[in-house]
Amino acid sequence: MVGNSMSDSETRAAPQAPAEAADEAAAALAARTEPRPALPAAQPLPAPAAAAPTPGPWPTPILDPAAFRSDNPEMRLRDMLAFAMAAEAGGAAPDVAGLRHKAEGELNAFAYRLLHNRVEEIRREAMQEQIAGMRPTLSFATLVTANAVALILAGMAGALLWVFLTGLGGH
C-alpha cells in the first residue's frame, strides 16, 4: 500500500455513492418511525329499507313539441322556452298556455336586464369619450402666475391713470 496515503478512518468517511446514501437514509428513517396502528375492519353498510325506483335521465311522459308551436314565427323562442320549461318540470299534462305566459315573462325580464346593462355600457363609453375630449385643467402654479400678471397689469394701468388725472404728465 505504498500509493494509498489514506488511513482506515478516512476511508470510512469518504463519500458514498448516491444510491447507497439514499438506502441508508431510508433505513434510518424506517428505524425512527413508529408503527402505525391497524385500522378497524370495514363494516358493511345497512341495506335500504325500501328502494324506490330510480328515474331515468328523461321524464317518463314524452312531450309533444307540436303542442307548443304557435303559428306566429316571432313567438318561436317563447314556444321553445315553454317546451323546455315543461320538460324540466316533468309533468304528464303541462299547461301550455300557462307555460307560454311564464316563458314570455322570463324572456321580457331577460330582455329588460340585457337592455339595462347595455344602456349602462353605452353611458360609460360616452362618459369616457367626453372625458377624453376635455382639455386638462390648469395647475396651481399656472393660476398663481396668471393672477400675478393680472395684478401687475392692473397696477400699471392704475399708475398711468393717476399720472394722467393728476396732471403730472405734461402741463
pLDDT at 34: 59
Give pLDDT, residue 1: 45
pLDDT band at 97 (very low <50, low <70, confident <90, very high): confident
> What is the average pLDDT across 75-90?
85
Is 122 part of a structural domain of the chain? yes
61 in Cβ contact with 37 (< 8 Å): no
Mean pLDDT of the chain: 77
Is the predicted pLDDT of residue 102 greater than 70, yes or no?
yes
Interatomic CA distance for residues 105 and 78, integer angstroms: 9
Is 171 part of a structural domain of the chain? no
For residues 111-132, one letter each, b for 16 or more C-beta atoms within 10 angstroms of the residue's C-beta and e for the rest, the string is eeeeeeeeeeeeeeeeeeeeee
Residue ranges of alpha helices (H) inside the chain are: 8-12, 18-32, 76-89, 96-133, 140-166
Angle CA 16–17–23, to nearest 5: 90
Structural domains counted in the chain: 1
- Mean pLDDT of the 141-158 span: 96
Distance of CA 63 to the CA centre of its chain: 39
Closest CA to 94 of 112, 113, 79: 79
Q: Is residue 12 part of a domain?
A: no
Phi-psi region of 39 (alpha: psi -120 to 50; beta: other; left: phi over 0): beta
| 104 belongs to a structural domain | yes
Query: For residue 20, how many other CB atoms are within 10 A of its CB?
Result: 10
Q: Answer whether residue 130 shows pLDDT above 80.
A: yes
Residue 106, domain member (yes or no) = yes
Q: Structural domain of residue 127, as residue ranges?
A: 65-133
